[in-house]
Amino acid sequence: MTRVLLTIGLLTSIFCSFACVQKGGNATTGNTGDTIKVGVYADLTGQTSSFGQSTKNGVELAVEEINAAGGVNGKKIELIVEDDQGRPEQAKTVVSKLISQDKVQAIIGEVASTNSLAAAPVAQDAKIPMITPSSTNPKVTEVGDYISRVCFIDPFQGSVMAKFAANTLKAKTAAILGDVNSDYSKGLTQFFEEEFTRLGGKIVAKEAYTQSDPDFKGQLTKIRNLNPDVIYVPGYYGQVGIIAKQARELGMNMPLMGGDGWDSPELWKLGGDALKNTYISNHYSAENPAPEIQNFVKAYTAKFGVSPDSLAALAYDAAKVLADAIKRAGGTDSVKLKDAINATKNFAGVTGSITLDAQRNAVKPAVVLELDPAAGKFKFKETIAPEGAATSTTAAANTNASGANVANTSATNMNATAVSNANATTNSNTATTNATR
């Protein structure tokens, strides 16, 4: 008898739950309204919530500007933001919510490649275009033709710094200190190592940390004994500032190098003088006096009370690229919109001129910047165009496809950056990313 009761209980529970979900479901009316619904999913409460917050802010700012200017094709953009707690399982859940319940017509997200990889198949299956502002793992856009990105991919950025270390800094040996939980960090580590070794250098140590580590001196002391010419730290500003500081405390004065994850106004406060003799690769310099960039920095600071970091700038660009594509597609028909996004060419964003290649990756040249903590600004060192990166890895071969565009882009960009040296402010633009902790 109990068994029967038990099964009845089970059944009732299942039906109850089903009813609950149904009730929760009928919130929206579909795409009949006079707004264009865009879904954003980001980590707003988990361990990477600072990235998610920046992303959300960047998109919100872009949408506010677009709507203030009359919207796209006469329709306002309506944002629906959902929190995924930085968990891939949740990312997938909220994307299916955005698509099936809120009936969004396009999606922007996520920062961490892990979360984007989990959620992208949902968007692909539902044929809803998804632009990821800052997931750098090459696998993300390989999910399908509805998935695109506006940032670098890891193979390119990792090899840029390897080239810079070997050719410009004439380094023979390097140590790498990466974030074990972040696939951004792992990706950069892998491609830096490949390229640096190919150029005749030697990786003497590969150490790891996690974001929750209270100090990094253990790893640094170990590296100190091997005395490498440079240390590559492909991490995020929250940790790298401290790493630089503690390295200097240990008397290690060799150059430190990093990626666009370093780029944040907070870096100067965390690292201080220790940031002397450090170099990063970035999309391009934020001190660029070009009006659209300075306006972005000004508007962002006014709206949110903090200066934008690279993730905010990329999210801003992702939203602008989407709006531009909707305009060109003449609506939100998913096939046309996808094609329009994928045909994005020389779009002037705050993170540089964005052109999507055949693999839907943004092709932009990278610039190497030197950090100047006294003035709190970046100094332009050199530009490295994507073509070179392609030789080292198969994944990077993607970038080759649009060689012609690249030439264009890099030319314009170089000008922009050259000018930027003169200028000062702390800031950011750019980036790539994903992180998973």
Partner 1 sequence: MDTFVQQLINGLTIGSIYALIALGYTMVYGILRLINFAHGDIYMVGAYAGFMLAVALGFASEPSAFGFVVTLVGAMAIAGVIGMAIERFAYRPVRKYSKMTTLITAIGMSLLIEYLFVFFFSGTPRSFPQLLPNENITLFGNATISTSQILIFVVSILLMVLLQYIIFKTKIGKAMRAVSFNINSAKLMGINTDFVIAFTFALGSALAAAAGVLTAQYNPKIEPLMGIMTGLKAFVAAVLGGIGNVPGAVLGGLLIGAAETLVVGYGGYIGIPSTYRDAVAFAILILVLLIRPAGLLGSNVQEKV
Partner 2 sequence: MSSWVKSLITAVVLIAVLYVVNAMMSTGGFFGTGIDDYQARLLVFIAINIILATSLNLINGFTGQFSIGHAGFMAVGAYSSAYFTVTYGKAIEASLGSLGDTVASSIVLLIAIAIGAVVAAVMGLIVGIPSLRLKGDYLAIVTLGFAEIIRIVILNIDAVGGATGLQVPGYANFLWIGIFAIITVVVIHNIVKSDTGRALISIREDELAAEAMGVNTTKYKVTSFVIGSSFAGIAGVLFAHYNKFLSTNDFQFIKSFEIIIMIVIGGMGSMTGAILGAIIVTLLPELLRQLPDIQVGAATFKFADLRLVIFALILIVTMIVRPQGILGTREFGLSWLKRPMRTPEGTEPTGSDEGTPIAQQAEARRLESEEDKDQ
Residue 93 binds partner 2, judged by CB under 8 A: yes
Q: How do 278-282 and 366-372 pair as beta strands? A: antiparallel
Residue 218 binds partner 2, judged by CB under 8 A: no
Using the minimum distance from each CB to partner 1, give the nearer residue, 212 or 394.
212
Q: How do 362-363 and 366-372 pair as beta strands? A: unpaired
- Which region, judged by CB under 8 A, interacts with partner 2, from 84-92, 219-227, 279-287, 313-321? 84-92
- Give the burial string for 265-278 (b: 16+ CB within 10 Å, else e): bbbbebbeebbbbb
Residue 105 binds partner 2, judged by CB under 8 A: no
Report the alpha-carbon distance of residue 142 to residue 364 in Å, rounded.
19
Virtual torsion, Cα 311, 312, 318, 324, nearest 10 deg: -150
* Contact residues for 288 (Cβ-Cβ < 8 A; gap 6+): 294, 416, 417, 419, 420, 423, 429
Residue 277 binds partner 1, judged by CB under 8 A: no
Instruction: Check: CB of residue 347 under 8 Å from CB of residue 355.
Output: yes
> Which of 12, 17, 31, 210 touches partner 1 (CB under 8 A)?
210
Here's the x/- map for partner 2, 107-126, by CB under 8 A: it reads as ------xx--xx--xx---x
> Which of 10, 343, 375, 407 touches partner 2 (CB under 8 A)?
10
Using the minimum distance from each CB to partner 2, give the nearer residue, 47 or 412.
47
> Which of 41, 50, 153, 320 touches partner 1 (CB under 8 A)?
50
Contact of residue 436 among partner 2, partner 1, none (CB under 5-8 Å per partner type): partner 2
Using the minimum distance from each CB to partner 2, give the nearer residue, 40 or 99.
99
Using the minimum distance from each CB to partner 1, give the nearer residue, 35 or 47.
47
> Which of 39, 46, 133, 155 touches partner 1 (CB under 8 A)?
46
Report the alpha-carbon distance of residue 65 to residue 199 in Å, rounded.
46
Residue 88 binds partner 2, judged by CB under 8 A: yes
Here's the x/- map for partner 2, 38-67, by CB under 8 A: it reads as ------xx----------------------
Q: How do 347-349 and 352-356 pair as beta strands? A: antiparallel
Using the minimum distance from each CB to partner 1, give the nearer residue, 228 or 241.
241
Using the minimum distance from each CB to partner 2, give the nearer residue, 122 or 243.
122
Using the minimum distance from each CB to partner 1, give the nearer residue, 66 or 244.
244
Contact of residue 241 among partner 2, partner 1, none (CB under 5-8 Å per partner type): partner 1
Stretch (H or E) spanning 229: none
Virtual torsion, Cα 193, 198, 201, 205, nearest 10 deg: 20
Instruction: Check: CB of residue 300 under 8 Å from CB of residue 293.
Output: no
Residue 194 binds partner 2, judged by CB under 8 A: no
Structure tokens at 59: 């998109």
Using the minimum distance from each CB to partner 1, give the nearer residue, 25 or 218.
218
Contact of residue 7 among partner 2, partner 1, none (CB under 5-8 Å per partner type): partner 2
Residue 213 binds partner 1, judged by CB under 8 A: yes
Here's the x/- map for partner 1, 292-331, by CB under 8 A: it reads as --------------x-------------------------
* Contact residues for 410 (Cβ-Cβ < 8 A; gap 6+): 365, 383, 385, 386
Tell me the β-bridge partners of 377: 372
Report the alpha-carbon distance of residue 183 to residue 221 in Å, rounded.
25
Using the minimum distance from each CB to partner 2, give the nearer residue, 183 or 263.
183
> Which of 168, 221, 295, 346 touches partner 1 (CB under 8 A)?
221
Contact of residue 18 among partner 2, partner 1, none (CB under 5-8 Å per partner type): partner 2
Contact of residue 270 among partner 2, partner 1, none (CB under 5-8 Å per partner type): partner 1
Residue 286 binds partner 1, judged by CB under 8 A: no
Angle at 353 between CA 351 and CA 354, to 5 degrees: 90
Residue 395 binds partner 2, judged by CB under 8 A: no
Report the alpha-carbon distance of residue 211 to residue 208 in Å, rounded.
10
Sheet of 362-363: strand order equals 347-349, 352-356, 362-363
Per DSSP, the three-state class of 222 is: helix
Q: How do 35-42 and 76-83 pair as beta strands? A: parallel
Using the minimum distance from each CB to partner 1, give the nearer residue, 243 or 366.
243
Instruction: Check: CB of residue 176 under 8 Å from CB of residue 234.
Output: yes
The residue ranges that bind partner 1 (CB under 8 A) are 43-50, 52-54, 180, 207-210, 212-215, 217-219, 221-222, 224-225, 237-239, 241-242, 246, 249-251, 266, 269-270, 306
